[in-house]
Amino acid sequence: MHSPAAPAPAPAAAATAAGLAQTPHPPGAWFEHRARLGAVLAPMAGFTDAPFRRLCRHYGAAWAVTEMVSAKGLSLGTGGGVEVGEPYPDERDVVIQLFAADPALAGAAVERLERTYRPAAFDLNMGCPVKKVVNTGCGSELLRDPTRAAAVVRAMVAATLRPVSVKLRLGIDSVVAVEVARAVVDAGAVALAVHGRTARQRYEGEADWDRIAEVAAAVDVPVLGSGDVVDEAGYARARARGLGVMIARGSLGRPWVFACVRGSAAPDATEIALVAWRHVRDHVAWYGGEGSLRRLRAQLGHYALAALVDRAGGETTTAASAFRAALVRAERSADVAVAFARFVGVDPRHPPADLDPTLRALVDAPALRRPTSGSPPRGPAG
């Protein structure tokens, strides 16, 4: 498989992101334009950090959303995850997701993150069903109160010239997405992403794309659907309905899914080993030590599965289980390289000479380091 580079940022889009008020484009143009280029990396707490975002963008993700940042945490000066939104050097088209229930804190968080990181856009999380988040009135809890949700969006919009989007679920127990979507669009959200499940469903059942399409029909802004897209057919179905597409779980240990949904063949085991190794090196460099590798273990297990599908058609053999176990228990980077060499026959520390140039560029790129390593801005927002 070739390794397509991320779509070149269109100058118009970059200009729009940099200064929306100065362009003649409608406010949702940034999202509309880019959503045509391919699927988007959905926000995933614990996963969509800078090292992973870079890989997904390399394979053509139209943009990438950060892990969610706590507006309240930022205001308390605990760091609050400000570093979560930190772009890697030269990162373009990053959208920072916030979770917030208080309009004033949301506005202050946007101002602070904009000053610090200059993202392309901001997104409000209205889908997270996790107790810790909903107990503070944030995430999917906002679906209960469209007036409050609208106030939070209004405060975010007032705090920035960059576009603001909202990512929501269909509802909490029942489907209320159309009503909520209208409220947040009236408040200034210029794009929506809709996960086609209620909060109560968590990840059960299938995402309901008919309901997502109903939301899209009810509002005059670009709508992206989220839920269960993992391949070209799923991507094409959503695009045929005029919807943009977000991919979350289907990208874990498979950042090339963004190329595959646009027709590229799946990578072979050599490429998988090299990409996993790239991820490991960037992760360790970004977080500043081998000890951080534990956080990557879950994804390493997904890389193992992908490599096994290439080598053995996905057969579960004893060797396959041993390979996966070796990756999810890796203590040090070298353990990952050794496991690939032993079970897949590719030592990613010694890449073949005849690599495709874009893959070669990815393999040879310097490891990703945090520009503000060790010194995320602290203190009360504002």
Give contact residues for ligand FMN (rule: CB under 6 A).
42-47, 67-68, 97, 125, 127-128, 167, 195, 226-229, 247-250
Smallest separation, CB 3 to ligand FMN (Å) = 22
Angle at 321 between CA 320 and CA 322, to 5 degrees: 90
Question: Is the CB of residue 62 less than 8 Å from the CB of residue 35?
Answer: yes
Q: How far apart are CA 24 and CA 56, in angstroms?
A: 30
**Closest distance between ligand FMN and the C-beta of residue 181, in Å?**
15
Cross-strand partners of 195: 169, 226
260 given a catalytic annotation? no
Q: How far is the CB of 338 from ligand FMN (least distance, A)?
A: 28
Number of other CB atoms surrounding residue 231 within 10 Å: 13
User: With respect to ligand FMN, which residue has the nearer C-beta, 200 or 369?
Assistant: 200
Q: Which of 56, 128, 138, 260 is catalytic?
A: 128
Who's near 165: CB < 8 A, 6+ residues apart?
31, 95, 121, 122, 123, 124, 189, 190, 191, 192, 193
Shortest Å distance, C-beta 128 to ligand FMN:
6
Nearer Cβ to ligand FMN (68/187): 68
Of 7 and 227, the one with the shorter C-beta distance to ligand FMN is 227
Burial class of residue 313, CB neighbours in 10 A (0-12, 13-18, 19+): exposed
Question: Contact 254/279 with Cβ under 8 angstroms?
Answer: no
For residue 104, count CB atoms less than 10 angstroms from its CB and return exposed for 0-12, middle for 13-18, buried for 19 or more: middle
45 Cβ contact partners less than 8 Å away, ≥ 6 residues apart:
67, 68, 128
Q: Considering the complex, what minimum distance in angstroms separates the CB of residue 378 from ligand FMN?
A: 22
Nearer to ligand FMN, 140 or 270 (CB): 140
Amino acid at 164: V
- Count Cβ atoms within 10 A of the Cβ of residue 301 and give its class: 0-12 exposed, 13-18 middle, 19 or more buried: middle
Beta carbon of residue 186, minimum distance to ligand FMN (angstroms, whole number): 21
Q: Which of 151, 63, 44 is nearest to 100 (CA)?
A: 151
Nearer to ligand FMN, 49 or 282 (CB): 49
CB atoms within 10 A of CB 174: 8
Residues annotated as part of the active site: 128
